[in-house]
Each structure stands twice: as C-alpha cells, then as structure tokens.
C-alpha cells in the first residue's frame, strides 16, 4: 500500500470517528507538504467543514488530534490556514524501506493493467542515416514504452520505415547518375551513410541546375519545378508505383544497404522494436481507403484528378490525399498503416512519437480517419516533442549539415574513454571490461542529457556538457550507483549481512529524506506514464543520487558501531541503488559496477 493510499484511508477513518460520516478515499485530497512547512503530507480539510459545521482551522485541529491519538503511523501534526500538515512516524518509514527491499522489481507494477498501447517511434527515411534528431525520437520512444510497461500496460513497440516516395527516388537517381557502380562495400562505408551521400549529391546537383535555368531567364519558382534532375526523380516515382521491374530492383538494393546500416545504429543505441512496418506495403491500403471514401462521397476529386478531404468544418483546410497522377502522399500511407494496426491488434491507444513540426499532420490523420468512419480514430495520439538544436544552429539533411547518430555515439565513447583514463578509475580492468564501461558511460550520458528535458521543449545538445562526471548528468548518477555498489562489496568482504531494518532504529533527517525519496518512485513512474515524460524520472534519479551523496559524506556506514544503525544505513544505501538503477533503467541507461 502506498503512503498516499494509507493516509487517505486513515483520514476517512478520522472523519468517521469525529463526525460519524463515511467518506470514500477518493474524496480525500492529499498533497506533499510544501518545503517551507513542517510535515510529510497535507490534507485539504475545506470539503469536510460541511460535516463538522466548524471553521477549517477547527476541523483540521480535530482531525489532527484524532489522527495523532488513534493512528500509529501519524507522529504529529500542525495546522496552517485550514490545511492539516501530517508528520508520519519514523517507524512507518522504516516499514516502507523493508517493504521496498522485499520487492522483486521495485518501480514496476505488480499486476497488469489490462491496457494495450502501441507506440511508434524512429520512423526513418531510407535515403539517409539516422541523425541527432532521430536520437531524441528513438530514446523518447523506447523510454516511454518502458515507462508504460512499468505501469503494467502491455506495449507493442513499432517502427514505420518510410521506404518510398520522392525523397527515396532522389538518392536512387543520384546513384544512377554519379556512382559508376560504387557500393558500400567498395566505398568502405555503412550502407545508410553511403546512400545519404547520394541524397546530398542530388541536392547539390539540383541547386546547380536551378541556377542554370534562372541564368537563362526562367523565374525561380519555375526553375525549381523544371530542373531536369527533379523531373527524373518524379518519373522514377511514377515507374516505381507502376511496378517497373528495373526500378523496383534498384530500390530494393539501395533500401537493403540502408536498413543494414540502421540495424547497427539501433544495436549501439540500445533500442528495438516488436514489429516493423514499411510504407511501401501500407500505402496501397491507404490508397484503397481513400478511393473508397471518394466513392462514398466523403472525399472529393478536383478536375486535375487529385483527391482531397475538406476539413474546413473542423477549423482546418483542404488536405491532399492523392496527387494528380494518382500517387500517394504521407497522409495516404498513414491512413493505411493505422487501418492495418487497429485491425491486427486490439489497441487502447496508438501513440506516434513524432516531432512538433508534424502537429498538423496528426490532427488531419485523426479527422480524416473519423470521416472515413473508423471508430478507432479517437485512439490516435500524437506525442509531440521539440527539436534538437546544436550551438551552431539547426541541421539540414539535404545539405549534409546534420550530426550523424553513429558519429555522435562514437565521439561520446571516445570522450568517456579519455575522461576515465585521465581519472584512472579503471586501473586493473582488462581492455574488454574497460571498453564496456566506456560504452555504458557514454550512452548513459547521451540518454540522460536528451531525456532530462521535457519532451515538449526544444533542446540544445552539448556533447561535452553531457558527459561531465559532476552536476545533473548521466555519469554523475552512474558514479553514485557505483559508489553504492562499492559499499556493498566492502560489506560483503567483511562478512556483514544486511537484514530488514528494526522499526525502533532512530532516523536522522537525511536518512528520513532518503527513505521518502525511495518511496516516491512508484508515484513518479505513474506520473511519468500519465504525462509521457521520461524527464520526470530523470529528475527523480538525479535528486536521489544527490541526496545519497550528501548522506554518504555525513554518516558512516561500515564504521558505525551501533549494529542496528549500521544495518539500516546499509539497507538504505542498497535500496537507493535499486531505485536509481530502476529509474535510470527506464531511460535506457545501464549501470556499471565500477567507474
């Protein structure tokens, strides 16, 4: 039973004892006591005055007297302007510590909720490697999935690979024109980087051709539309959708290069999927659904042949669903993908982890699906997040000014390697053991730095700042964990066994604060799940690590002479480690045993 549930039940008991009225626990309003006041929890007593027929202050005092007199868990109370601040007894907190220590997987729900979520993240294009923006997407998607699992929900993690469309054809055309048969193997490059180079090459050639056409007197808008290389890419897209064998063969070959590269990146990043969908397979379903909507009069066709949805009645505009030539747009395939998923799985909510530049897109997706008559349209949720920027500005894939995910992760591993060697923390480790620690520290730094920011906010990423071993960073949290593990190893070496704490053991203020923080983890997990915000868990892990380090410096553990106090402190340290590892684990961070 959580502290909130316990206290709510006790307040119900107090109201009945004082005023003879039976309330439900839902009628009890509780909040953590503000730091400037004494207390653990504050009871809002205003709703009870209609039963007491007295002022809020008098009602609070009567309930406080009853609780402190009749309820063992309540040590004392105070009243501030009609709010009842309750102080919970140290014996209760020691009981909480013992309960937490007995849990097999602390922070994770013991029973399934019965809800099933599908969470889509990553969604890369097969014309370029993953970059820093994709890192935030992947880390958010994986962490949110793990947090929902911790809340007892069943989660299906999916990836929709955007493997068709004009952007894919741009890379294909550039390879045909400029590669002279070069392959990733012959170039010595990962497949996704190799294909991405040709996407950049296309843009360079396209801009040069625009410049030539404008020099010949063509207006810029017409030059952009009539550049020969763009017309070739459009023709390739038409051939692809018509099933031209040669075009399809090249498409498969280049996609395989990219997908192989993605797999390596995902593996290093530590993310995975339960199922992968491909736009090339789902767009046909979407096209058929759009044509059916047209036949049913829900959608309309323009004279040019394109098909549209009129959303003006919903406060939006008209949305293109099929082009003049009958080819599909992103919206078409998203309709088909959603249809396939809801028919395949019984989903309570489908969550798309996609940047905030696509807010309009997902508004339209839900509205169009509703117009097409699908009851599940209201189950579509867009988890919108802010972009990642660098000190030097925004990134642009087509211009080749992005930070590649692979390069960034390798750079961070190298930084972790150099920092650890400088500090001499891994002396005595084999090269293989040391490399494993460098990887955990580097990726822990990256994941924490990305995820500690509220998803809705645009963030500035600074690699050097993220890997600092001090301050609000992943390595600081990992180092705290290794400090705890070091204490545990020393205790074991001395033959000291840790057992449940004696409820009569006195607790100092910092020890009480630690127990309270540890006990908060389930509530933080629930809040992080409800708000789809890993940042809440990141901030919790940092706060707990910071509090533990203050405790560590102020109170002896192994040198403590009183056996009961020593045992309680060791148990407290161990459970701090468990809570830190659990919270950080939901962010995808791995904890090294030594740093």
**pLDDT attached to residue 418:** 86
- Class of the 3-88 domain? alpha beta
Two structure tokens written together for 327: 């080819």
Q: What is the mean pLDDT of residues 336-356?
A: 96
| Per-residue confidence band for 163, with pLDDT thresholds at 50, 70 and 90 | very high
Closest CA to 75 of 512, 551, 522, 563: 512
String of DSSP letters for 3-29: HHHHHHHHHHHHHHHHH-----GGG--
Q: What is the mean pLDDT of residues 45-55?
A: 95
Which of 30-44, 137-151, 320-334 is most confident?
137-151
Q: Is the pLDDT of residue 73 over 70?
A: yes
Q: How many residues does the chain have?
A: 595
Positive or negative, the Cα torsion across 517, 519, 525, 530? Answer: negative
| Per-residue confidence band for 395, with pLDDT thresholds at 50, 70 and 90 | very low
Do residues 451 and 539 lie in contact, with contact meaning Cβ atoms separated by under 8 Å?
Answer: no
Cα Rg of the chain (Å, integer): 29
Q: Is the pLDDT of residue 67 over 80?
A: yes
Q: Where are the domains of the chain?
A: 3-88, 121-389, 405-585
**270-326 residue pLDDT tens:** 999 999 999 999 989 999 999 999 999 999 999 999 999 999 999 999 999 999 988
Least confident span in 17-21, 89-93, 466-470: 466-470
Sheet holding 307-310, edge to edge: 300-301, 307-310, 318-322
DSSP 380: E
**pLDDT attached to residue 81:** 87
The mean pLDDT value of the chain amounts to 93
**pLDDT attached to residue 401:** 54
**169-190 residue pLDDT tens:** 999 999 999 999 999 999 999 9
**pLDDT attached to residue 396:** 47
**pLDDT attached to residue 419:** 82
**pLDDT attached to residue 397:** 42
- Chain centroid to Cα 416, Å, comes to 23
Q: Is the pLDDT of residue 353 over 90?
A: yes
Q: What is the mean pLDDT of residues 97-113?
A: 94
For the chain, helix, strand, coil in percent to 5 are 60, 10, 30
Two structure tokens written together for 75: 């040590």
| Per-residue confidence band for 386, with pLDDT thresholds at 50, 70 and 90 | very high
| Domain over 121-389 is classified CATH 1.10.3720.10 | no
Q: Is the pLDDT of residue 436 over 90?
A: yes
Q: Which residue has the tokens 């007197």?
A: 217
* First and final C-alpha spacing in the chain: 36
| Per-residue confidence band for 1, with pLDDT thresholds at 50, 70 and 90 | low
Q: Is the pLDDT of residue 399 over 70?
A: no
- Class of the 405-585 domain? mainly alpha
Q: Is the pLDDT of residue 398 over 50?
A: no
Q: Is the pLDDT of residue 462 over 80?
A: no
300: three-class secondary structure by DSSP:
strand
Least confident span in 415-419, 515-519, 539-543: 415-419
Closest CA to 568 of 555, 580, 581: 555
String of DSSP letters for 138-197: HHHHHHHHHHHHHTT-EEEEEEEEB--SHHHHHHHHHHHHH-TT--HHHHT--HHHHHHH
**412-432 residue pLDDT tens:** 999 888 887 877 767 788 889
Task: List Cα–Cα distances, 346 to 111, 379, 519, in angstroms.
Answer: 20, 11, 34
- Chain centroid to Cα 443, Å, comes to 15
Least confident span in 101-110, 428-437, 443-452, 547-556: 428-437
């Amino acid at each position: 039973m959580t502290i909130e549930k316990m206290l709510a039940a006790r307040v119900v008991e107090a109201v009945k004892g004082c005023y003879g009225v039976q309330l439900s626990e839902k009628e009890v309003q509780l909040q953590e006591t503000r730091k400037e006041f004494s207390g653990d929890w504050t009871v809002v007593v205003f709703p009870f005055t209609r039963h007491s027929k007295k002022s809020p202050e008098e009602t609070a005092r009567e309930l406080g007297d009853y609780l402190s007199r009749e309820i063992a868990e309540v040590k004392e109370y105070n009243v501030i302007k009609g709010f009842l601040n309750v102080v919970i007894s140290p014996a209760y907190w020691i009981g909480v510590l013992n309960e937490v220590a007995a849990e097999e997987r602390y922070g994770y729900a013991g029973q399934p909720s019965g809800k099933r979520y599908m969470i889509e993240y990553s969604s890369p294009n097969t014309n370029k490697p993953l970059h820093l923006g994709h890192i935030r997407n992947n880390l958010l998607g994986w962490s949110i999935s793990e947090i929902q699992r911790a809340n007892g929900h069943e989660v299906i993690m999916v990836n929709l690979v955007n493997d068709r469309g004009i952007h894919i054809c741009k890379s294909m055309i550039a390879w045909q024109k400029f590669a002279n048969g070069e392959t990733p193997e012959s170039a010595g490059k990962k497949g996704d980087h190799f294909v991405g180079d040709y996407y950049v090459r296309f843009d360079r050639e396209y801009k040069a051709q625009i410049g030539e056409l404008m020099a010949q007197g063509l207006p810029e808008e017409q030059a952009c539309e009539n550049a020969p290389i763009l017309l070739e890419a459009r023709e390739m897209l038409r051939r692809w959708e018509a099933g031209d064998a040669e075009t399809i063969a090249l498409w498969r070959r280049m996609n395989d290069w990219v997908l192989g590269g993605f797999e390596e990146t995902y593996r290093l990043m530590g993310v995975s999927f339960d199922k992968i969908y491909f736009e090339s397979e789902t767009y046909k379903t979407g096209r058929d659904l759009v044509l059916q909507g047209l036949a049913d009069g829900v959608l309309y066709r323009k004279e040019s042949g394109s098909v549209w949805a009129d959303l003006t009645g919903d406060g939006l505009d008209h949305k293109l669903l099929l082009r003049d030539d009958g080819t599909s747009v992103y919206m078409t395939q998203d309709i088909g993908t959603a249809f396939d998923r809801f028919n395949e799985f019984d989903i309570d909510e489908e969550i798309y982890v996609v940047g905030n530049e696509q807010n309009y897109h997902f508004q339209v997706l839900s509205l169009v699906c509703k117009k097409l008559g699908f009851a599940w349209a209201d189950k579509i949720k867009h988890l919108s997040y802010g972009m990642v920027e660098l000190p030097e500005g925004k990134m642009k894939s087509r211009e080749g000014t992005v930070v590649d995910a692979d390069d960034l992760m390798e750079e961070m591993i190298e930084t972790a390697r150099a920092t650890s060697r400088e500090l001499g923390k891994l002396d005595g480790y084999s090269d293989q053991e040391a490399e494993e620690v460098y990887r955990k520290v580097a990726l822990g730094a990256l994941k924490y730095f990305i995820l500690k920011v509220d998803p809705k906010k645009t963030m500035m990423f600074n690699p050097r700042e993220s890997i600092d071993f001090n301050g609000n960073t992943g390595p600081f949290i990992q180092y705290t964990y290794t400090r705890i593990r070091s204490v545990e190893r020393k205790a074991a070496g001395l033959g000291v066994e840790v057992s449940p704490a004696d409820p009569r053991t006195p607790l100092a203020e910092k020890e009480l604060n630690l127990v309270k923080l540890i006990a908060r983890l389930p509530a933080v997990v629930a809040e992080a799940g409800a708000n789809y915000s890993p940042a809440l868990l990141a901030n919790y892990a940092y706060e707990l690590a910071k509090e533990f380090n203050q405790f560590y410096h102020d109170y002896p553990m192994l040198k403590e002479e009183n056996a009961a106090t020593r045992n309680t402190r060791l148990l407290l340290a161990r459970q701090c480690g468990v809570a830190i590892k659990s919270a950080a684990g939901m962010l995808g961070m791995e904890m090294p045993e030594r740093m």
